[in-house]
């Protein structure tokens, strides 16, 4: 099969399959049937991604002229990261789409939803397979546009179940309640704040490098040309786009309020697109920059040190915030932020971890970050889909449901047990082996960075395990009895999250059978040189935290501390109060002084006055006497002769 046909089907089938439902938006009968066509379009992408993984040669580049006079082409690549991430993205989107056939049934604007959902999927696939930075940015912008359309999907703000926060609750002057329309606006505005410097960084690379292809850029030469200061500025501009997209501290608030969107959107947003996009692009750039080989490049170490600690602090902040949250999806959102932070940190640690894996000589730390992304994607998507089913069943977005309720929701109960235990790093389940490798990565930093990275990782892992157990306990075991129960139906929802969670077993099998997986298994061994490994000890701590939180999901003596964490440690004040106040102050300065000054200079005082004076002078010499005009001309000629004479002497 022609390679370009494969890629066209991969990218275009989701978008084109959603066009009919857009055109039929006025017909209720058709908009109830056409979602199946939209789901089929994503299924085609799944088939194409699997074909790329198993049939197309690895590390092959496919190029097609686009704007050749500017050196910009459509360049796609089938490297290790793209091949696997493409399957992950398409498969997760397909399972969520199946779930969405039930979940979105009866929605008031299905045409809008399915078009943006499929555009979201296609845009992420473009980001994944792009080798050209400009083409990648096209997919990047598609993600931003689709996120605005989906997060604010329920724009009418007419149902409290789609809000984030508790209506009427205030801390100081700030009301901690946000509607869907605000959630969509915040997402796009925060992301745009990071996209602008990212675009400027791409423009700088385009100006300084003979190519925009990630795999062909001579990164070391580029950094040496820029010098230490230039390297830091360039990479910080790039990172602004990645940090805002992945909701790292201090840009995390949009991710919490993004939970106003449909749960299917939250699941896709947090697992395989949008939030994962920033971490994936950083992993991919690091793969080709190979910072472990560029220790002679000044400035690079400071950038990777910054990413390391922003990732770890975001991980701990997200986990602590989740520990105090009582809204199903917002708790999961905080935990996603935490996981994404660990992915950034693991990939950044590659600067100091020069350990190769396999015949491809892949960097161990980068592989750890990527495989943690894969495990997290399927586990977190499963939990979001369960959360959406629970919201439908209880008509509440808050944690609720005891053991009796759990018995009525057996598939969701089982999926939650599997997804949480396989995600938190309990031995010997899937995430344990990857988290063990992450522990080993942080151990490598002892001499260069110190013990703090490992300490932050262990603290995050323990708290993270506790909040996942809390989600399970308060939804199915020890939660309050729901005021409303509607546990019937939802067949396709159950199919969606059951298929999703089953992939965790496949990933466990791959870890034990793949070449790179052997390194993870070795990292997770109980003993090394006759002593218990740190990784196994962290795994036992995660198990203990999980069991304790399962037994005591809420500690009333710590309610005030929990409320502080649940309020995201008052970080919303910065986004909703402090920054707007500063913004309005600046706008008033511009309006009261800047605009009036410009108006006075150009329209009312300075320029008009100048022209008036010149006009009077000109009219003053228009006497009508020939002798006066002759004198003026002679005077101008004399001035010209003096200027020429002086110029000749100077020359």
pLDDT tens-digit series, residues 309-321: 999 999 999 999 9
pLDDT, averaged across the chain: 90
Closest Cα to residue 205, out of 172, 185, 183, 231?
231
Find which of 308-312, 515-519, 526-530 is predicted with most confidence, using mean pLDDT.
308-312
pLDDT band at 574 (very low <50, low <70, confident <90, very high): confident
Question: Among residues 346, 374, 364, 288, which one has the least CA distance to residue 84?
Answer: 374
Tokens matching residue 293: 């080989």
Compute the radius of gyration of the chain from its Cα atoms: 29
Q: Left, alpha or beta for 208 (phi > 0: left; psi -120 to 50: alpha)? A: alpha
pLDDT at 360 over 80: no
Residue 283 contacts residue 368 (beta carbons within 8 Å)? no
Q: Is 525 helix (H, G, I), strand (E, B) or coil?
A: coil
Q: Is the pLDDT of residue 617 over 80?
A: no
Closest-CA residue to 423 (of 440, 435, 414, 412): 435
Backbone angles phi, psi at 216, to 5 degrees: -110, -15
| Token pair of 442 as six digits | 């942080």
Cβ-Cβ contacts under 8 Å for 581 (sequence gap 6 or more): none
Q: What token pair was written down for 8? A: 């066209």
From CA 309, how far away is CA 303, in angstroms rounded?
10
Tokens of 306: 């910054």
Choose the weakest-confidence range: 266-270, 288-292, 487-491: 487-491
Q: What is the 3-state secondary structure (H, E, C) of 91-134?
A: HHHHHHHHHHHHHCCCCCCHHHHHHHHHHHHHHHHHHHHECEHH
- Between CA 340 and CA 182 the distance in angstroms is 24
Predicted local confidence at residue 639, as pLDDT = 86
- Predicted pLDDT of residue 623: 65
Q: pLDDT exceeding 70 applies to what percent of the chain?
A: 97
Q: How far is CA 216 from CA 212, 219, 608, in A?
A: 8, 9, 57
- The domains of the chain are located at 3-570, 571-620, 626-651
What band does 70 get if pLDDT is binned at 50, 70 and 90? confident
Question: What does the pLDDT average to over 177-182?
Answer: 88
């Amino acid at each position: 099969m022609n390679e370009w046909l494969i890629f066209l089907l991969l990218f275009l089938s989701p978008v084109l399959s959603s066009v009919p439902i857009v055109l039929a938006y006025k017909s209720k009968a058709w908009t109830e049937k056409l979602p199946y066509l939209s789901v089929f379009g994503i299924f085609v992408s799944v088939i194409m991604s699997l074909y790329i993984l198993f049939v197309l040669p690895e590390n092959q580049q496919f190029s097609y002229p686009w704007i050749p006079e500017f050196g910009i082409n459509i360049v796609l690549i089938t490297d290790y990261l793209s091949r696997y991430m493409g399957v992950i993205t398409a498969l997760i989107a397909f399972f969520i789409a199946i779930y969405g056939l039930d979940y979105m049934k009866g929605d008031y604007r299905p045409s809008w939803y399915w078009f943006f959902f499929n555009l979201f999927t296609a845009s992420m696939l473009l980001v994944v397979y792009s080798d050209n930075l400009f083409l990648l940015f096209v997919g990047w912008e598609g993600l931003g546009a689709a996120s605005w359309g989906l997060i604010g999907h329920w724009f009418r703000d007419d149902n409290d179940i789609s809000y984030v926060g508790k209506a009427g609750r205030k801390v100081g002057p700030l009301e901690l309640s946000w509607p869907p329309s605000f959630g969509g606006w915040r997402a796009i505005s925060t992301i745009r704040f990071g996209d602008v410097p990212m675009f400027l960084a791409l423009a700088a690379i385009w100006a300084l490098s003979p190519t925009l292809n990630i795999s062909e850029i001579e990164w070391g030469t580029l950094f040496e040309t820029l010098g230490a200061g230039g390297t830091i500025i360039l990479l910080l501009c790039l990172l602004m786009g990645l940090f805002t997209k992945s909701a790292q501290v201090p840009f995390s608030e949009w991710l919490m309020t993004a939970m106003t969107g449909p749960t299917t959107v939250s699941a896709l947003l947090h697992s395989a697109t949008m939030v994962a996009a920033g971490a994936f692009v950083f992993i991919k750039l690091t793969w080709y920059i190979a910072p472990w080989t560029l220790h002679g490049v000044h400035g690079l170490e400071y950038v990777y040190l910054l990413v390391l600690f922003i990732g770890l602090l975001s991980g701990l902040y997200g986990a602590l915030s989740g520990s105090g949250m009582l809204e199903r999806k917002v708790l999961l959102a905080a935990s996603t932020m935490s996981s994404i932070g660990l992915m950034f940190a693991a990939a950044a640690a590659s600067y100091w971890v020069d350990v190769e894996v396999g015949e491809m000589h892949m960097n161990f730390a980068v592989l750890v970050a990527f495989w943690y992304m894969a495990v997290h994607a399927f586990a977190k998507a499963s939990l979001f889909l369960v959360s959406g089913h629970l919201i439908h069943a209880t008509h509440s977005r808050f944690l609720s449901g005891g053991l009796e309720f759990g018995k009525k929701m057996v598939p969701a109960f089982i999926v939650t047990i599997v997804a949480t235990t396989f995600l938190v790093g309990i031995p010997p389940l899937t995430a344990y082996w990857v988290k063990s490798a992450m522990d080993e990565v942080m151990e490598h930093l002892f001499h260069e960075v110190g013990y703090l990275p490992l300490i932050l990782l262990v603290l995050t892992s323990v708290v993270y395990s506790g909040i996942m157990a809390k989600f399970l306990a308060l939804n199915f075991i020890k939660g309050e009895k729901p005021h409303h129960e509607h546990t019937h139906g939802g067949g396709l929802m159950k199919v969606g999250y059951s298929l999703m969670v089953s992939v965790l077993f496949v990933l466990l099998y791959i870890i034990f059978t793949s070449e790179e997986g052997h390194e993870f298994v070795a990292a997770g061994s109980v003993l090394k040189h006759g002593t218990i490994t740190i990784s196994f000890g962290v795994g036992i701590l995660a198990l203990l935290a999980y069991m304790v939180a399962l037994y005591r999901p809420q500690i009333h003596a710590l309610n005030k501390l929990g409320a502080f964490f649940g309020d995201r440690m008052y970080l919303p004040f910065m986004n909703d109060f402090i920054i707007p106040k500063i913004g309005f102050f600046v706008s008033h300065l511009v309006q009261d002084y800047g605009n009036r000054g410009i108006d006075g200079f150009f329209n009312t005082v300075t320029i008009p006055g100048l022209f008036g004076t010149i006009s009077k002078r000109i009219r003053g010499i228009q006497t009508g006497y020939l002798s006066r005009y002759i004198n003026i001309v002679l005077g101008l000629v004399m001035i010209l002769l003096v200027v020429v004479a002086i110029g000749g002497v100077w020359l």
